[in-house]
């Protein structure tokens, strides 16, 4: 059907509720908006669904949730003999319609014949990942749009290993979803009080927190020095408040100050346009509180508590937000040396990072005799590696991270875990304080030892159908340019991951390695309507590293912006 035919069907069919019809009727005459809402079904990718909460096939609503859930159920039933009994666990955050979408998914999947476990209230993404394996489920779902603006919601799908589903599985699920051509025939239950839908209690929360706290390395430092160590924490109005505060308190941190305006769950995120700890503007209140109480560190978790950002005082005494690459390098050094000190570092240890992550942490790990494994962007690939190592015992995973503020320490999850990361970051900052250093000073010492690594990530937002087409055009034309140099630096290696290189699964990523070791990568985001450009440089002199970074960034942006 054309987008106009779909629009008219939603307006006239008795299957759709009156509120939905009223919303759609208000769009009459606005052809561009109608087209954007109905030109496709909301794309189901390797991260599941993510979109604006509105009526329409290209939006997040109960009808697209039902279609996706039924397709997912059919995939599991057709591919796993024990799917019905093992079941699927579903969690949700505090975004608009999250609870309703959770219940809708539960009723649809249960009606299809699969047992469903769901939580009575908000849960974090790492909690969902943990629960899949703990309950021996065939899969899992978390209703969240992570750090997207308030108008968005999403639907992330997990496999039995507790990691987000791999691209080949996503393709098969997508086929099942696309085979559903009549929404009115999708089975669903009237209520969740059904023997096939099980409400989980708090026992599993206690088990998760216990697993998190076992990752502490120098607990005696907390017991000895935490009395005057001040942590400012913000959950950015999301799901992190309960597990993070409980973990910090039980681990011995005595002075934790929560940003009051951002403490309680709020689907509008207290007016924060993008509740993303990568962006300093989202941490304005936290930074102000840190200054007010003269605190040691600000820690912020995003709404589904899988990413974490931190801010500390720099050498000038100004509060500075550290990058994901900087925190990853610091954690790499702290965790490996700490485990060595405690005789807890296993043989064949490895650290995992993505291909667009700085080499800062990787070089530290290698120097400390820990193997580094590169993966494509996405923690699903990290989860896949962890599952492989668990089966074949070839490596022992210690930690992994990506530049976009996602960290995983330990084996309790197969996805980003901001609860554990918060605990280890707090412990690390307190450790350096105990030896007379700030976290920033510790980072500078690492730079002096390994070189100054400088990175920059630029996001170009291109929303809607035209935006999606523009992103595709940019990627295509960049490939066709066959670049030989960038900012007067020769390209010594071009990696087109869409063709399959270095043994990786095919992925829409271009990466250029320059003659001085600098690098540039370009890829569409898998979770947001944007194109991401990553640049990394390194030099013994910080000024030179920064100059190279700025020159490369300016040069490459001119290339991208010239594509119309």
pLDDT digits (tens, 9 = 90+) for 151-160: 999 999 999 9
Give the separation between CA 50 and CA 47, rounded to whole angstroms. Answer: 8
Res 46 pLDDT > 80: no
Domains and their CATH numbers in the chain: 40-201 (3.40.120.10), 208-450 (3.40.120.10), 454-561 (3.30.310.50)
Four-point Cα dihedral 35, 41, 44, 50, nearest 10:
50
Average pLDDT estimate for 552-562: 96
DSSP H/E element including 69? helix 62-79
358 is catalytic: no
For residue 527, name the pLDDT band (cuts at 50, 70, 90).
confident
For residue 469, name the pLDDT band (cuts at 50, 70, 90).
very high
pLDDT, position 525 = 87
Res 498 pLDDT > 80: yes
pLDDT, position 47 = 75
Q: Interhelix angle for 167-178 vs 62-79, to 10°?
A: 110
Question: Helices in 140-257 by DSSP H: which ranges?
Answer: 167-178, 203-213, 219-225, 241-250
Average pLDDT estimate for 17-41: 96
Q: In the chain, pLDDT over 90 holds for what percent of residues?
A: 95
DSSP H/E element including 495? strand 489-496
Give the separation between CA 138 and CA 164, rounded to whole angstroms. Answer: 12
Three-class DSSP category at 329: helix
pLDDT tens profile 273-331? 999 999 999 999 999 999 999 999 999 999 999 999 999 999 999 999 999 999 999 99
Closest by CA to 365, choosing from 346, 379, 351, is 351
Q: Is the whole model's pTM more than 0.85, yes or no?
A: yes
For residue 45, name the pLDDT band (cuts at 50, 70, 90).
confident
pLDDT, position 529 = 84
Average pLDDT estimate for 8-27: 97
249 Cβ contact partners less than 8 Å away, ≥ 6 residues apart: 256
If one compares 44 and 216, the residue with the highest pLDDT of the two is: 216
Three-class DSSP category at 162: coil
Average pLDDT estimate for 59-69: 98
pLDDT, position 325 = 97
pLDDT tens profile 459-468? 999 988 889 9
Average pLDDT estimate for 490-500: 96
* Active-site residue identified among 106, 129, 146, 349: 146
Average pLDDT estimate for 335-353: 98
What tokens does 11 get? 């307006």
Closest by CA to 537, choosing from 558, 556, 516, is 516
Res 131 pLDDT > 90: yes
pLDDT tens profile 170-222? 999 999 999 999 999 999 999 998 999 999 989 999 999 999 999 999 999 99
pLDDT, position 465 = 84
Res 526 pLDDT > 90: no
Three-class DSSP category at 549: helix
Q: What is the mean pLDDT of the chain?
A: 96
For residue 382, name the pLDDT band (cuts at 50, 70, 90).
very high
pLDDT, position 418 = 98
What tokens does 492 get? 């010594």
pLDDT, position 120 = 87
pLDDT, position 273 = 96
540 Cβ contact partners less than 8 Å away, ≥ 6 residues apart: 451, 452
111-125, 201-215, 520-534: least confidently modelled range: 520-534
pLDDT, position 118 = 97
Res 433 pLDDT > 80: yes
89 Cβ contact partners less than 8 Å away, ≥ 6 residues apart: 116, 117, 118, 128, 131, 132, 135, 137, 140, 141, 200
pLDDT, position 43 = 87
């Amino acid at each position: 059907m054309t987008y106009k035919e779909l629009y008219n069907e939603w307006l006239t069919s008795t299957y759709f509720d009156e509120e939905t019809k009223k919303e759609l009727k208000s769009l009459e005459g606005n052809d561009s908006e109608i087209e954007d809402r109905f030109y496709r079904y909301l794309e189901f990718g390797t991260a599941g669904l993510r979109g604006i909460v509105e009526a329409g096939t290209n939006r997040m609503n109960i009808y697209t949730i039902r279609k996706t859930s039924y397709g997912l159920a059919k995939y599991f039933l057709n591919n796993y003999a024990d799917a019905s009994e093992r079941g699927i666990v579903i969690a949700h955050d505090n975004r608009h319609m999250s609870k309703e979408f959770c219940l809708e998914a539960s009723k649809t999947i249960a009606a299809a014949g699969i047992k469903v476990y769901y939580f009575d209230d908000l849960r974090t993404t790492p909690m969902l990942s943990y629960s899949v394996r703990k309950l021996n489920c065939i899969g899992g779902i978390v209703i969240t749009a992570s750090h997207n603006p308030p108008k968005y919601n999403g639907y992330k799908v997990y496999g039995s290993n507790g990691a987000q589903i791999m691209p080949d599985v996503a393709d098969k699920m997508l086929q099942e979803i696309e085979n559903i051509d009549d929404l009115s025939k999708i089975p669903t239950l009237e209520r969740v009080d059904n023997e096939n839908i099980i409400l989980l209690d708090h026992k599993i929360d206690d088990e998760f927190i216990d697993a998190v706290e076992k990752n502490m390395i120098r607990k005696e430092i907390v017991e000895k020095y935490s009395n005057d160590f001040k942590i400012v924490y913000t959950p950015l109005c999301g799901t992190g408040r309960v597990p993070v505060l409980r973990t910090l308190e039980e681990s011995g941190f005595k002075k934790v100050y929560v940003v009051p305006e951002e403490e309680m769950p709020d689907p509008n995120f207290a007016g924060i346009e993008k509740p993303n700890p990568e962006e300093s503007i989202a941490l304005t209140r936290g930074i102000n509180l840190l200054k007010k109480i003269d605190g040691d560190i600000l820690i912020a978790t995003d709404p589904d508590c899988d990413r974490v950002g931190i801010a500390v005082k720099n050498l000038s005494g100004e509060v500075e937000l550290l990058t994901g690459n900087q925190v990853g390098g610091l954690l790499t050094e702290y965790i490996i040396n700490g485990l060595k000190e405690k005789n807890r570092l296993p043989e064949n240890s490895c650290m995992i990072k993505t291909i667009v992550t700085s080499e800062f942490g990787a070089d530290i790990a290698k120097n400390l005799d820990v193997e580094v494994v590169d993966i494509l962007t996405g923690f699903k690939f990290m989860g896949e590696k962890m599952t492989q190592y668990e089966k074949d015992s070839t490596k022992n995973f210690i930690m992994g991270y990506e530049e976009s503020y996602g960290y995983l320490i330990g084996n309790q999850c197969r996805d980003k875990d901001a609860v554990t990361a918060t605990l280890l970051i707090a412990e690390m900052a307190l450790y350096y304080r105990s030896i007379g250093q700030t976290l920033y000073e510790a980072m500078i010492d690492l730079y002096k030892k390994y070189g100054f690594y400088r990175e920059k990530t630029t996001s170009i937002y291109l929303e809607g159908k035209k935006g999606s087409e523009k992103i595709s055009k940019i990627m295509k034309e960049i490939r066709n340019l066959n670049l030989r140099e960038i900012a007067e630096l020769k390209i010594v290696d071009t990696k087109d991951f869409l063709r399959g290189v270095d043994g990786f699964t095919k992925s829409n990523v271009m990466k250029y390695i320059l003659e001085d070791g600098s690098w540039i990568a370009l890829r569409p985001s898998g979770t947001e309507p944007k194109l991401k450009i990553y640049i990394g440089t390194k030099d013994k002199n910080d000024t030179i590293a920064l100059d190279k970074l700025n020159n490369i960034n300016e040069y490459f942006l001119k290339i991208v912006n010239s594509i119309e």
